[in-house]
Amino acid sequence: MKLHFHGGITLFTITFITLTLLLLSTESTQPPFACDTTNPQTNSLPFCQTTLQIHQRVEDLVSRLTLDEKISQLVNSAPAIPRLGIPAYEWWSEALHGVSGYGLGVSFNNGRISGATIFPQVILSASTFDARLWYSIGQAIGKEARAVYNEGQAKGMTFWAPNVNIFRDPRWGRGQETPGEDPLVVGKYAVAFVRGFQGDNFEGNNNNNNINGHHHLLQASACCKHFTAYDLDNWNGISRLGFNAQVTQQDLADTYQPPFKSCVQQGKASGIMCAYNSVNGVPNCADYNLLTKTARGEWDFHGYITSDCDAVSTMHDILKYANVPEDAVADVLKAGMDVNCGSYLKTYTKSAIDQKKVLESEVDRALHNLFAVRMRLGLFNGDPNKQLYGNIGPDQVCTNEHQELALEAARNGIVLLKNSAKLLPLSKSQTSSLAVIGPNAANAYALRGNYDGPPCKNLEILKVIQGYVKNTMYNQGCNAVNCTFATIEDAVSVAKNADNVILVMGLDQSQETEDHDRVDLTLPGQQESLVKAVALASKKPVVLVLICGGPLDVSFAKDDQKIGSIIWAGYPGEAGGIALAQIIFGEHNPGGKLPMTWYPKDFINVPMTDMRMRSDPSSGYPGRTYRFYKGTKVFEFGYGLSYTTYSYNFIATTPNTIHLNRLMSSIQSTNESSSSSSSSSIPYMSVSKIGKEICEKSKFSTFVGVENTGSMAGKHPVLMFVRHGKSRNGSYEKQLVGFESVSLNAGERAKIEFVFNPCEHLSTANEEGLMVIEEGYRYLVVEDKEYPINIVL
């Protein structure tokens, strides 16, 4: 609605009055918050008593609902129950890397908050390998989310983030949303983000336990999605909606499930979303083993489980798993799903009960989980502004602190991929003219990635660079990111006249996004020709900046001497332009490292639908991710340069022989390999047999020395891998077991401690999906240094 339209004022006023009357009339039946202490009709109800346990309050609440009221609550847009003073609630809001307007819960145009801090898209924050930073980001977003709620601009406090699926295939349109391809990194990201977002401290304790009886009061509710083995959106006509992922027990155990386990067990996320796809023939939302046995049982999940949007109807309409709609409803409620994003459960639960496919008690089970989360959010404690998080106001959104954090994340995430002859950093004073070329140079929107929100600030790269070098010329180079048409001659003539040239190329959401996977790994359209022509014509080697979530095969640029530097900037968020300029002009020393493998372009010969992580040499299947992929790489996982140099050494490991046999004197047989399949002759022991206590006792420490041997201060993560002394069929090439970010001045040294639990860090999944520890040597690896550890069973 346009407020400045003169001719429309009368009409607008009438509309406004009508709207106001409507709002007033619904307000009398729709309470703004539950358990209003000034309302004598509801304030004495047991479910409003904050001194009672949440499960008692929920029990009371559910017992008061009619069957129709109960059914109405099983969908994301849950209506009010005015007779009990319960307001409407919207379960669907998004906050992947900033509070977002995607979803139905949050609105940025009906109040004082019109934007939020938009952090880098997750894949770039991941490349900082800095769990404290991830925690701070989660904390800031959770706080802004609460401010939006307090301001009356949110109809719910449940946000469907983080996305903790493994970035299995480089073509995946949503790989950008994830922390990359490594299960340890993704798990640690999940834990840090969720703790920050929900209001726990970094170590995982809730600061707000039992304040005025508010047990586990959540700042905002996070959701681990998409459970599980979801990493294909829409590829070659194959859609996530109907995809049946064939996944081995081994890959589930050591790749697909660990991030979810961490998100739930250590992060204590209060939500899970089950994914559209099936796994081995069973739709995720209908999988009792997954939702109830594994998540709630083994992992002790307390929270609600939502379907992805319309993922119940698709079980009937697309997957044909349910013959009639009522079967789909029965399948998901029996499996342990609680709320349906969509309307299927509203439409078909009554008939499912009438047909005796669903028991009312099964609906009650779901409602318990749903109302418990709303209560944990403090939404049944009376006036929200009088509560623990009630004083978080609009002034807490887009604060300098949050915007500085967004800048820090972008700066520490950006990865320097090539810097031959030390082309970078450019000197601000000695660069008299610059040419900035490319379709992503003057597009602030492209810097944000998907699931963004309206940002605090909108800054394109070109504008920021013009602030450094006044004489900066610009040519877009391509009609759009798809570059179906390139203005090569114009770009070349602009480049020829400049001291230095910066090309800002890559992808955007027209190339990779939700429901849209790529079909190739090269730069779109004529981008490559443009880059080569400009590089050839330029006075000096050029700087190539890649804006993209998924990796690109830029081998041509790696090998081209006229392309001096390559920078990967992901989708760096609202402060991305500033971060990039600070790196280009040497105000910041880059330290980010790639959180995913960059494959050569012929990797597209591998069907995206093949979920196997492990290679299969007999059929030429190369395997996936740095852990199993055996082919050539454009850039490796963990790769990233700096303006300085670092050296590493192992200082000590105590002990370097782990005698599990001695620790386990009470356990008889240590050789289980006779009971395993024929592929192994290496003795091993299952982690569950070793037991938690012995696992704890067998922990050991490794100290690594790091020295900044160059001439510039820098911050970078130290990545610790492990590899097997003897590898066998199905073992990883190497596996990340720890990472720690360290800041060092030129010439400074530090000693970093890594603590390992063999059961966690030195185990692998066997073919049955059992975590086992094999006997023999492992090598701890940091860059070019190795250190042996001997495991004796």
Site string for ligand NAG, 765-784 (x = CB under 6 A): --x-----------------
Answer yes or no whether residue 98 interacts with ligand NAG by CB under 6 A.
no
**Of 484, 711, 743, 745, the one binding ligand NAG by CB under 6 A:** 484
Answer yes or no whether residue 681 interacts with ligand NAG by CB under 6 A.
yes
- Nearer to ligand NAG by C-beta: 212 or 669? 669
Site string for ligand NAG, 486-515 (x = CB under 6 A): ------------------------x-----
Please report the DSSP string for 516-547 in residue order.
B--S--SPSTTHHHHHHHHHHHSSSPEEEEEE
Provide the residue count of the chain.
793
Q: Minimum CB separation from ligand NAG for residue 604, in Å?
A: 19
Q: Do the bridges between strand 224-227 and strand 542-547 make them parallel or antiparallel, or are there none, so unpaired?
A: unpaired
Q: Minimum CB separation from ligand NAG for residue 788, in Å?
A: 19
**How far is it, in rounded angstroms, from Cα 754 to Cα 751?**
10
Residues 6 or more apart from 610 whose CB is under 8 A from it? Answer: 621
Q: Minimum CB separation from ligand NAG for residue 303, in Å?
A: 34
Stretch that binds ligand NAG, among 530-538, 583-591, 673-681, 781-789 (CB under 6 A): 673-681
Answer yes or no whether residue 675 interacts with ligand NAG by CB under 6 A.
no
Answer yes or no whether residue 671 interacts with ligand NAG by CB under 6 A.
yes
Stretch that binds ligand NAG, among 563-571, 649-657, 670-678, 695-703 (CB under 6 A): 670-678
Answer yes or no whether residue 480 interacts with ligand NAG by CB under 6 A.
yes
**Residues forming beta bridges with residue 703, ordered by sequence position:** 652, 753
Site string for ligand NAG, 177-196 (x = CB under 6 A): --------------------
Instruction: Tell me whether the omega of the peptide bond preceding residue 228 falls within 30 degrees of 0, making it cis.
Output: yes
Q: Identify whether the C-beta of residue 78 lies closer than 8 Å to the C-beta of residue 92.
A: no
Answer yes or no whether residue 730 interacts with ligand NAG by CB under 6 A.
yes
Stretch that binds ligand NAG, among 331-339, 460-468, 476-484, 537-545 (CB under 6 A): 476-484
- Nearer to ligand NAG by C-beta: 573 or 683? 683
Answer yes or no whether residue 669 interacts with ligand NAG by CB under 6 A.
no
Q: How many Cβ atoms are within 10 Å of 281's Cβ, its own excluded?
A: 11
Alpha carbon distance, N-terminus to C-terminus of the chain: 72
Answer yes or no whether residue 28 interacts with ligand NAG by CB under 6 A.
no
Q: Do the bridges between strand 100-103 and strand 93-94 make them parallel or antiparallel, or are there none, so unpaired?
A: antiparallel
What are the tokens at 384?
């929200």
Q: Identify whether the C-beta of residue 663 lies closer than 8 Å to the C-beta of residue 445.
A: no
If binding means CB under 6 A, how many residues of this protein chain bind ligand NAG?
Answer: 14
What are the tokens at 421?
């002859």
Stretch that binds ligand NAG, among 182-190, 315-323, 479-487, 560-568 (CB under 6 A): 479-487
**Of 259, 506, 683, 758, the one binding ligand NAG by CB under 6 A:** 683
Q: Minimum CB separation from ligand NAG for residue 613, in Å?
A: 9
Answer yes or no whether residue 729 interacts with ligand NAG by CB under 6 A.
yes
Answer yes or no whether residue 15 interacts with ligand NAG by CB under 6 A.
no
Phi, psi at residue 432, to the nearest 5°?
-85, -25
Quick one: DSSP state of residue 766?
-
Q: Minimum CB separation from ligand NAG for residue 465, in Å?
A: 24
**How far is it, in rounded angstroms, from Cα 271 to Cα 345?**
19
Q: Minimum CB separation from ligand NAG for residue 679, in Å?
A: 4
**C-alpha distance from residue 603 to each of 557, 559, 704 (Å):** 18, 19, 36
- Nearer to ligand NAG by C-beta: 305 or 685? 685
**How far is it, in rounded angstroms, from Cα 205 to Cα 212?**
17
Answer yes or no whether residue 790 interacts with ligand NAG by CB under 6 A.
no
Question: Annotated catalytic, 490?
Answer: no
- Nearer to ligand NAG by C-beta: 48 or 611? 611
Answer yes or no whether residue 679 interacts with ligand NAG by CB under 6 A.
yes
Dihedral over Cα of 266, 175, 764, 716: its sign = negative
Check 308, 327, 452, 508 and give the catalytic one: 308
**How far is it, in rounded angstroms, from Cα 248 to Cα 279?**
10
Residues 6 or more apart from 662 whose CB is under 8 A from it? Answer: none
Dihedral over Cα of 661, 666, 669, 672: its sign = negative
Answer yes or no whether residue 105 interacts with ligand NAG by CB under 6 A.
no
Answer yes or no whether residue 674 interacts with ligand NAG by CB under 6 A.
yes
Report the Cα 743 to chain-centroid distance in Å. Answer: 25
Q: Minimum CB separation from ligand NAG for residue 117, in Å?
A: 28
Q: Minimum CB separation from ligand NAG for residue 784, in Å?
A: 30
Stretch that binds ligand NAG, among 467-475, 477-485, 644-652, 696-704 (CB under 6 A): 477-485
Of the candidates 364, 386, 366, 338, the residue with the CA atom closest to the CA atom of residue 35: 386
- 183: three-class secondary structure by DSSP: helix
Q: Minimum CB separation from ligand NAG for residue 568, in Å?
A: 23
Instruction: Tell me whether the omega of the peptide bond preceding residue 683 falls within 30 degrees of 0, making it cis.
Output: no
Stretch that binds ligand NAG, among 44-52, 337-345, 480-488, 598-606 (CB under 6 A): 480-488
**Of 411, 614, 624, 715, the one binding ligand NAG by CB under 6 A:** 614
Of the candidates 69, 87, 88, 68, the residue with the CA atom closest to the CA atom of residue 78: 88
| Residue matched to tokens 């969509």 | 342
**How far is it, in rounded angstroms, from Cα 61 to Cα 46?**
8
Residues 6 or more apart from 296 whose CB is under 8 A from it? Answer: 336
- Nearer to ligand NAG by C-beta: 319 or 486? 486
Q: Minimum CB separation from ligand NAG for residue 485, in Å?
A: 8
Answer yes or no whether residue 654 interacts with ligand NAG by CB under 6 A.
no
**How far is it, in rounded angstroms, from Cα 228 to Cα 252?**
9
Q: Minimum CB separation from ligand NAG for residue 767, in Å?
A: 6
- 659: three-class secondary structure by DSSP: strand
Catalog residues that contact ligand NAG under the rule CB under 6 A: 480, 482, 484, 510, 614, 671, 673-674, 679, 681, 683, 729-730, 767
List active site positions.
308
